[in-house]
A and B are shown apart, each in its own frame.
Chain A
């Protein structure tokens, strides 16, 4: 069994990992340079507009990286979005089993998951939803600040802040599940090196693992 375990399965392609890291770095910069306006005590750090310049540079990376990925790898991009929006009874099963699974390591009722588990699909909703709000409201505040009516800009600030709270809080959950949670032993390996062990693939993404196995068998035959 141990020998088999050393065989690795590719979870994320190189392009996907690069996109992930650029987008993450951009978001963390955006988060921190936005946070200085959220915490009055940090306000002094924003003097001289430099946090706002960093915010804009990071915003460009935040917008350009996924756009470029979609242009270069349209099929992968469409497949990923499609996957996030494809829900079945196993997703409901995940929702029911998640508390016991994530707190008590109880895998009994956890249905086998696809390449993306239900939690990851939910995270995609957050990323896509808040991403759209961030970009739309952000671009309006960036380029229409001096021409748009005050009432519109007030709402843009407000919505940008809601997205900030939602995405910021969920980022903690995402990072926690990726690198800290005791059961997610190879999630970090998946996104940093691209591969997971067969054992991990089987126990965490059982449905996807079966699919891969079938594909490999078909090829052989």
Chain B
């Protein structure tokens, strides 16, 4: 089956954040209410963007970027959630297999019950997406992130529905479908933007990290939207998982084999020596 994807067209997004709300609703994630003495207390941090960051119960949010955009200050909205990379480093570093590639849709699926809470996925993700409700002292944690509405029991894709965020989008900024078709569609939209004078218009996600399963039509460069321009698969992950750990197995194996060999040889040598000493002692005794 062909890979699926979400196409986000930033030029059509009004930041209504219906996607943000329905994401929580469908996936049964609670809202985060700040716990202060006098109930809800909000603090102005200079933006209407809310909440400030993804959380274990916030898998999707719209970011508000105030940047210089073709000579004037503009407000650029962007969708922030799991990118569902083809070369997903989180899958590589997850020690329990909780994060894995879904063969059917090509996305990064997640078996939450296997999560140990180690947080390696969060350390290595080039987009800092995975979030956990970590207890600082005990370290007890469970990670969460967007699974493109494939949670067991709440699996919209298996039921042939589009993801909740796409379903609720009133402006057509979000579309869901076969990745190949969306890549073609998105590129055409970017071409059109360029012809309209948005010379920096960017199609993001086609090649990044082997191809993302969330594609972006942006009418400026990716960095203006708060995206890393050239996200890289961390070299530390390769050094750790493909070099260091196999080497560790070799070192451990050679050590144990070496000790076993030493035992066999040393025991025989000692026995031989003792036999000589005993015989010598006996002979001395006879004299």
Contact = CB atoms under 8 A, between A and B. Distances in A.
B96 A44 contact: yes
Given A105-B270, A150-B128, A182-B270, A46 B96 contact: yes
Interface string B116-146: 1111101111001000001011111110000
Interface in A24-42: 36-38, 40
B266 A105 contact: yes
A44 B262 CA distance: 35
Contacts of A48: 116
Given A47-B114, A103-B269, A52 B140 contact: yes
Nearest to B140: A49
B248 to A, nearest CB: 4
B95 A40 contact: yes
B113 to A, nearest CB: 7
Contacts of A145: 119, 123, 134
Given A43-B97, A162-B244, A173 B118 contact: no
Nearest to B251: A169
Interface in B258-287: 259, 262-263, 265-267, 269-270, 273
Q: Is the interface of B mostly helix, strand, loop or mixed?
A: helix
B248 A157 contact: no
**Chain A binding site: helix, strand, loop or mixed by DSSP?**
helix
Interface residues of B, number: 47
A104 B276 CA distance: 14
B159 interface: no
Contacts of B248: 38, 161, 164-165, 168
B262 A181 contact: yes
Contacts of A205: none
Interface stretch (B73-81, B169-177, B232-240): B232-240
A154 B239 CA distance: 11
A165 B244 contact: yes
Given A38-B245, A161-B248, A165-B244, A47 B234 contact: no
Q: Which of B113, B116, B263 gathers most chain A CB within 10 Å?
A: B116
Contacts of A53: 138-140
A162 B244 CA distance: 7
A169 to B, nearest CB: 4
Interface string A138-165: 0000110110001101110110011011
Nearest to A37: B95
B252 A43 contact: no
Give the one of B114, B139, B251, B252 with max A CB within 10 A. Answer: B139
A48 B116 CA distance: 6
Contacts of A46: 95-96, 116, 118
B157 interface: no
A132 interface: no
Contacts of A151: 234, 236
B236 A154 contact: yes
Contact of A155 (B119, B236, B265): B236
B251 A102 contact: no
Contact of A52 (B117, B128, B247, B270): B117
Q: Count chain B CB atoms within 10 A of each CB in A47, A173, A183 and give the residue with the most.
A: A47
A189 interface: no
Contact of A105 (B240, B245, B269): B269
Contacts of A172: 252, 255-256, 259
A101 to B, nearest CB: 9
Given A52-B117, A183-B266, A173 B240 contact: no
Nearest to B248: A165
Given A158-B240, A169-B255, A180 B122 contact: no
B116 A47 contact: yes
A155 B237 CA distance: 9
- Please indicate which of the listed interface residues A155, A164, A169, A172 has the most CB atoms of chain B within 10 Å of its own CB: A169
Interface of A: 36-38, 40, 43-44, 46-49, 51-53, 55-56, 102-106, 142-143, 145-146, 150-151, 153-155, 157-158, 161-162, 164-166, 168-170, 172-173, 176, 180-183
Given A104-B269, A162-B244, A180-B259, 7 more contacts: A43-B95, A46-B96, A104-B266, A142-B139, A145-B123, A151-B234, A154-B236
17 contacts: A49-B138, A49-B139, A49-B141, A103-B265, A142-B139, A146-B134, A154-B236, A154-B237, A157-B120, A157-B123, A157-B240, A161-B245, A165-B248, A169-B255, A172-B256, A180-B263, A183-B266
